């Protein structure tokens, strides 16, 4: 457990993951519930909708729906992890960073760098998860330093 020296930092990390989670759960639900062209346009929001308005094979829709489902469970895991981060769990910081962080790494590589998403919300959400991961690392290192400084 993280020592009580860093409660504000833990609350900030929790807040960042919850904000990230709320945005992404909305995206996941919209992805599953919309028609395939609209779901793709919702993900790749920098692309003109008229370029995506073709009919898609049902398999494409299934892949998009699977993406939405995966996003929903990753977000659920991340938000639950945020609750445990609030309580000072180092394990939760680690696994929440892995789940939420790697979800955004894929988004950054394939969507942000490809130029398919707008800065808001796409790139901003990547920055939010990155900030949560960096702050988690700072809290973890502060915990290690606190243990090293304390008398045996």
Q: What tokens were used for 68?
A: 């939405």
Q: Where are the domains of the chain?
A: 7-142
The pTM score is 0.88
pLDDT of residue 137: 93
Q: What tokens were used for 136?
A: 């988690």
pLDDT per residue rounded down to tens, the chain (152 residues): 555 567 899 999 999 999 999 999 999 999 999 999 999 999 999 999 888 888 889 999 999 999 999 999 999 999 999 999 999 999 999 999 999 999 999 999 999 999 999 999 889 999 999 999 999 999 998 877 666 666 65
d(CA 27, CA 138): 29
Which of 12, 76, 127, 46 has the alpha carbon at shortest distance from 2? 12
């Amino acid at each position: 457990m993280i020592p009580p020296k860093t409660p504000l930092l833990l609350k900030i990390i929790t807040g960042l993951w919850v904000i990230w989670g709320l945005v992404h759960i909305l995206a996941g639900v919209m992805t599953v519930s919309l028609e395939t062209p609209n779901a793709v346009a919702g993900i790749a929001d920098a692309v003109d909708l008229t370029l995506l308005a073709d009919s898609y094979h049902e398999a494409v829709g299934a892949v998009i729906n699977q993406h939405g489902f995966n996003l929903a469970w990753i977000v659920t895991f991340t938000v639950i992890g945020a609750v445990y981060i609030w309580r000072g769990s180092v394990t939760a910081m680690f696994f929440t960073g892995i789940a939420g962080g790697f979800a955004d790494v894929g988004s950054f590589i394939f969507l942000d760098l490809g130029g398919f998403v707008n800065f808001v919300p796409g790139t901003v959400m990547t920055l939010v998860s990155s900030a949560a991961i960096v702050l988690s690392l700072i809290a973890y290192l502060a915990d290690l330093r606190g243990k090293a400084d304390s008398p045996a």
